[in-house]
Structure 1
């Protein structure tokens, strides 16, 4: 790190500094050749930019940067690198770029250096849904709303987005997963699930780049070739899901900004959140599905599913009192009945 022999005497620098600098540049060229050979073109762009600034006349590094940019789908930037290098060589040294750099320029112009952003093998059908909730009860109207909209969009290649919102413990995730399991056969291209950890007490909310990488891996993208930049990841993600009927559950979202890069071009998305995420409703036509406490009868049905209907029927007063104490919230009822 830093210039060769930084901090030592001028005599030693004059004797060995230039040689070490040349050896370092050669080592970097070998390193980046290896990185590019293994398909890590998107991962090395930032480092290459750093080192071409440090070695502005290192034509091999410029060539590698052009190749990395081209393979990352950033051809205009690759051409800008060549133009800037040629102008610098002419202005400061009075020479033209070398044969290899000129050849790379020609390859980029012709598209011969191009490779897919990510070489993928798409699985027939990802199936990532966590298991359904035992003893699910109630939410008849909300389930009916979801069913009606799914029927209305049958055969349409568009994206429906639902926001299931409510206070903690009201059963947002339970509803989303229960409905997802009921209709999963309607999504022949698979079901995807991500816990965005928007309100996790122990961990930070998941960044969109992390969530996109997780989704891309589930869709078969080679982890070594997943772009680092969110925009590039989102572009690859949308390309993989174009015209595919996929059900996506984005659980525990914190805000609209966390979710926006994850929205697919087709299929159905269920988002659960403590917030209403009004921006998604206003700007993207998302459907809002608010949840409140269960009714008394639904609370009894939930307790019956967990404890057994016979036990609840034998002690109706106790079951009713327990439901009242729990505020008719599904999570509290399940914890109390455990």
Structure 2
């Protein structure tokens, strides 16, 4: 079996470029096994010709090596081709009980509709626990889905402060095969930024406590609209602030009526005022 030298050179070069990934390292180990002591990857990765020549020579001398080399070349084409978004991410479902957040929604819609310019488009949704910050971000995303034809990415950082693991979650949602997710934090960040660059996509980063926690996930591309959700504004985050305040008594009563039904609310009588006062205007508490 005759395997062209240019094709083998292109293969080992692709492997060298993909060495940051687990798949790239595994493929290079397979190639090293075929080349034996006669071939080694260049330290700089600049010239792959000698290694490719050794592989071709061995393949001409041994048909079994030629078959194995052809198999590795096929694996390289399937695993080390340029990455692209392979899946359109979607937001998780949100509550059907939503009350009086029109001003905040208008602010988010205005931010999403702003023409892309030299600066990233970001919003910081903040409010005390139970105020409905997550519900607001999700309601906005679902109601404005047509603005984001390339998808809506949701990363929940409630139980994980490691940005590297959050990047892994984001890349998975974008359809990147597990074997092609880089191991290093910088490589993961660069991969994420490359994938979303120029895409009309919404990124919701929920339950954020610090800018350091999300810095690698803050898209630099102005085509991306990022909504950060947290209990308070984050120092050092360049984003339009959207405060979610407690519901007024009137709106809390309307929400309770929608959740429990008018008959149940009427049965409480005057006690309903005390129940709502204990909820403190927090939609999460009212829904419970």
- Correspondence 1:63 to 2:43: no
Shift in Å, 1:291: 2.1
Which residue is equivalent to 1:3?
Answer: none
Which residue is equivalent to 2:20?
Answer: 42
CA contact under 8 A between 1:119 and 1:221: conserved in structure 2? no
Which residue is equivalent to 2:252?
Answer: 299
Which residue is equivalent to 2:166?
Answer: 211
Q: Secondary structure at the match of 1:41?
A: coil
Which residue is equivalent to 2:8?
Answer: none
Tell me the distance in 2 between the aligned counterparts of 1:101 and 1:147: 55
The superposition leaves residues 39-77 of structure 1 with CA deviations (integer Å, 9 ceiling, x where unpaired) of 9732569x99xxxxxxxxxx95993474xxxxxxxxxx5
In structure 2, relative to structure 1, the CA distance for the partners of 1:179 and 1:44 (3 Å cut) is closer
CA-atom RMSD in angstroms: 3.6
Q: 1:126 aligns with which of 73, 77, 89?
A: 89
Q: 1:271 aligns with which of 228, 234, 256?
A: 228
Shift in Å, 1:101: 6.0
Any stretches of 5+ residues in structure 2 without a counterpart? 1-13, 27-35, 55-72
Tell me the distance in 2 between the aligned counterparts of 1:318 and 1:140: 29
Shift in Å, 1:146: 1.3
The superposition leaves residues 161-197 of structure 1 with CA deviations (integer Å, 9 ceiling, x where unpaired) of 1111122112111111111111112211111111012
Tell me the distance in 1 between the aligned counterparts of 2:268 and 2:244: 28
In structure 2, relative to structure 1, the CA distance for the partners of 1:65 and 1:328 (3 Å cut) is farther
CA contact under 8 A between 1:157 and 1:243: conserved in structure 2? no
In structure 2, relative to structure 1, the CA distance for the partners of 1:313 and 1:183 (3 Å cut) is farther
Q: TM-score, normalised by structure 2?
A: 0.71
Q: Which has the larger radius of gyration?
A: 1
Alignment: residue pair count = 243
Which residue is equivalent to 2:142?
Answer: 181
Greater RCO, 1 or 2 (C-alpha within 8 Å, sep 6+): 2
Q: 1:145 aligns with which of 107, 110, 127?
A: 107
Which residue is equivalent to 2:217?
Answer: 262
Q: 1:248 aligns with which of 172, 193, 203?
A: 203
Tell me the distance in 2 between the aligned counterparts of 1:78 and 1:234: 22
Which residue is equivalent to 1:166?
Answer: 127
